Amino acid sequence: RKEVEQDPGPFNVPEGATVAFNCTYSNSASQSFFWYRQDCRKEPKLLMSVYSSGNEDGRFTAQLNRASQYISLLIRDSKLSDSATYLCVVNIGSGTYKYIFGTGIRLKVLA
C-alpha cells in the first residue's frame, strides 16, 4: 500500500457544483495533514491545514478521519478558478518533518 493515495481524476464538474476528494494514508502515527493546490507549472501553495476537529475556510472544508485513515476536501459552489491539482500532504510519522505528497487530484470546473 502506498503511503499516501489519491484518485488522480480528472474530475470535471460544472460551475456551482459541490465536489469532494479523499486521500488515504497508511501510517497510523501520522499527525500533520495538509491540502495544497498546484496550478499548472507552478509551485504548490498551501490551501488548508487539516485538523482533527475539521476546519472550514469559505467554500472549502477539510476533515480528518483517523479511524479510516483518510482526509477529505470538500469544495462547495465550484468556481472556474478552482480548476487545479489538489495535493494531500501527510507526515510519515509522529514528530517527523518528512512529508509525503499524494499524486494529486486534477479538478476542472466547466462553465
Partner 1 sequence: GAVVSQHPSRVICKSGTSVKIECRSLDFQATTMFWYRQFPKQSLMLMATSNEGSKATYEQGVEKDKFLINHASLTLSTLTVTSAHPEDSSFYICSASYTGSGAGYTFGSGTRLTVV
Tell me the closest approach of the beta carbon of residue 17 to partner 1, in angstroms: 24
- Residues near partner 1 (CB under 8 A) are 32, 34, 41-46, 49, 87, 89, 97-104
Backbone angles phi, psi at 107, to 5 degrees: -115, 130
Identify which of residues 46 and 80 has a Cβ nearer to partner 1 in the complex: 46
Identify which of residues 44 and 82 has a Cβ nearer to partner 1 in the complex: 44
Tell me the closest approach of the beta carbon of residue 99 to partner 1, in angstroms: 7
Residues 6+ apart with CB under 8 A from 53: none
Write down the residue that cell numbers 465550484 correspond to: 78
Q: Which of 76, 59, 58, 78 is nearest to 14 (CA)?
A: 78
Tell me the closest approach of the beta carbon of residue 81 to partner 1, in angstroms: 20
